[in-house]
Structure 1
């Protein structure tokens, strides 16, 4: 028995030394291997007590699992190149929402700092100036501003005076010119144009006399005629009609006027034409004397005959 115990104690001592050298994971695997390598329990009729002792020694010896666990594992080889490790860490990029927000905030902060630095550099010339120099520069700027403001005020006053005087003179001149043109149309010294009518009287029998032409003129003036021309004679306030007793026909302002009599009238056509066509009016009277009257309304007629004004002998402008 003593000889059998000595090999068993030696084996147990060697197994303990190997177990101390293994790491904790190897020990666990060795333990599991030992449990898996336990011998089956004795059954009745399996030998004597010596056989049991040998089975116990075999169970305590390390099995194949213990031997396999004792072999050290090879470490994972990492890239030794730093550039390769950096590339593996950076690519492919993995950007989260938080990282994007931080990047935008950093960009905005950098932009604000750049603007601030630029605005600060703009005034870098004055940053190194002395206090006396700054006060002098400020006084010069104040004085220049006051002089410019004074010049601006003077120029504005001069402009207002010129505008008032020029506007008044221009307005008075315009009003005078307009009034002179209106008086020239009435006096017959200016041509007149505008809407109106053209009245043509054909008198093949020679029955139209001066009084009939005068009645026609009065009807036109009463209807609002502003300028009238009969053939080539301009009708004005002092126009008169006479019958030509020697050769027939009519004389207007001492000029012989033969038929057809052509009235060129400036005025509102919607007022002038009905005034001549009223029952018992000018057109009806001319038809009764075997004459034919033709009225044509036009949007623009031209009265171009001019009258020669006569100088006043008795009348003078009344003093105000």
Structure 2
């Protein structure tokens, strides 16, 4: 049964007063409404107090909605590295590596930068002589090619070229004696390593045919397979023959170029002098290489067809 609330100002009967007090007590036990905003509808607080936690006297419902609508925090910049950034990093690494290599290469060229003017002139003269020799060889080869392809005279030119080539191979193999301009070099108080360095330097400077003679009268033709080792009790062993110093090294080639090659800074002459030995050189218009070797019979190698 529902109770009708009396109009304001109306007198209550003694039987209605307790009922009205019960109704007011019931309404007060319900949770109070909370306004979302000034114009919006009201809502009641839940039992856990969630709305009360979010809506306080200092923060209204609009502030709560703005906080809830805020986007999530962005990740730090290093976590948003794109493919373009990775490519730029790789290119920078490659550029740094190239710069380091270039700097090291420039450091390696400081030897010539600190050389004396006379040394630079000798090196330049050596290079010019090598260039002239190579140009002469190119011209000779081109002439031979034209003769071989000339038609009627091709057969005779081919025969002459074969004979010339056989003589050259004989000189290189040490089976034929040679004569021509060159150097006569005397080396004293040196070891086998110094002689080997001199032979290699002379070959690089255009030395074509050479021999080495010892004070004991032994002479050895120097070829591509020659070797030099120190002998017990002094002296050296060259291709199995024992030689005693001082040693006389005769070489056929362009004299000035070969002498310049031996005198470069840190070269053969400088190393021998620093080791207590001595090197003397004499340029000659005619140098004779008389020592020869027996032709080697090949057991396994055959010309390729």
State the TM-score bracket (shorter-chain normalisation): 0.3 to 0.5
Relative to its length, the structure with more helix (as a share) is 1
TM-score of the aligned structures, taking structure 1 as reference length:
0.45
Q: Pick the structure with greater CA Rg.
A: 1
